[in-house]
């Protein structure tokens, strides 16, 4: 007889990683100033990430609620955030966001 299944939650591999207030040398190493910029007004947005995104928030404040998780991840101005490929989440933006971003392009095929 099979064991009862637990409700699905966000796998650890789909966790949002926040690096709060990284050093200027880390920002230079990432090349953030050469990345495109994106901005958004306060509001609630449902997002699905089809590629890993790394972003640096110049301004703003976000509470991200990963699908299937009861926890939220908070980040804002001065944070570098890595959002894994395949993550669906809801962003509750309380302060307008202005960020630099980059999507990871997969250089290898996994088929």
For residue range 55-106, what is the model confidence (pLDDT) as tens digits? 999 999 999 999 988 899 999 999 999 999 999 999 999 999 999 999 997 5
**Global pTM?**
0.82
Distance CA 60, CA 92 (A): 11
Structural domains for the chain: 17-103 (2.60.120.10)
For residue range 5-14, what is the model confidence (pLDDT) as tens digits? 444 454 556 8
Contacts of 10 (CB under 8 A, 6+ apart): 66, 67, 68, 69, 87
Distance CA 106, CA 51 (A): 8
Contacts of 34 (CB under 8 A, 6+ apart): none
């Amino acid at each position: 007889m099979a064991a009862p299944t637990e409700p699905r939650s966000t796998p650890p591999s789909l966790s949002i990683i926040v690096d709060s207030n990284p050093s200027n040398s880390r920002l230079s190493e990432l090349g953030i100033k050469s990345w495109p910029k994106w901005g958004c007004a306060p509001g609630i947005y449902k997002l699905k990430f089809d590629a890993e995104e790394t972003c640096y928030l110049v301004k703003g404040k976000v509470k991200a609620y990963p699908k299937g998780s009861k926890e939220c991840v908070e980040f804002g101005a001065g944070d570098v955030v890595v959002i894994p490929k395949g993550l669906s989440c809801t962003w509750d933006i309380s302060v307008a966001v202005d960020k630099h971003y980059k999507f990871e392009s997969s250089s290898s095929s996994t088929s």
